[in-house]
Amino acid sequence: MKIIAVCGVGIGTSAILKVNAERALERLELTADIDASDLAGIAVAAADAQVILTSSELAPAVRQAIGRSFAEVVEVTNYFDVDEISRLLERSLG
């Protein structure tokens, strides 16, 4: 299972999202590879991903970039809220 955390530039915010998504997976007792990506690299990164985590601000651009990928785009409001991320991941992966 592969999850991608996306932000505009691929550092900073996507890294925070990756760290907190790892904490959420641990809480859910699930294992997955989580990579961080920038918007420019998302089409390639998403090819074999199940879930793409991003903000609601970037979600439309992500959907456009990945085209007909099987990955589900999940919008996170608070990047530090492990409860929120756990709920979202449980819904997508469960």
Partner 1 sequence: MNLPPLPDEAVVIGAHAADWRSAVREAGRALTRSGATRSDYADRMIAVIEEFGAYVVIAPGLALAHARPGRDVLREGLAVVTLAEPVAFGHPHNDPVRVVVGLAVANAEEHVASVANLANVFNDAGAVGRLAHARDATEIRGLLGIEGGAA
Binding of partner 1 by 10 (CB under 8 A): yes
CA 20 to chain centre: 10
What value, to the nearest 5°, has the Cα angle with vertex 17 and ends 47 and 11?
80
Range 64-83, binding partner 1 (CB under 8 A): 77-82
Binding of partner 1 by 26 (CB under 8 A): no
Nearer to partner 1, 14 or 69 (CB): 14
Question: Burial letters for 24-47: b for 16+ Cβ neighbours within 10 Å, e otherwise?
Answer: bbeebeeebebbbbebeebeebbe
Of the residues 19, 28, 32, 43, which one makes contact with partner 1 according to CB under 8 A: 19
Query: With CB under 8 A as the contact rule, which of the stretches 26-34, 44-52, 56-64, 65-73 interacts with partner 1?
Result: 56-64
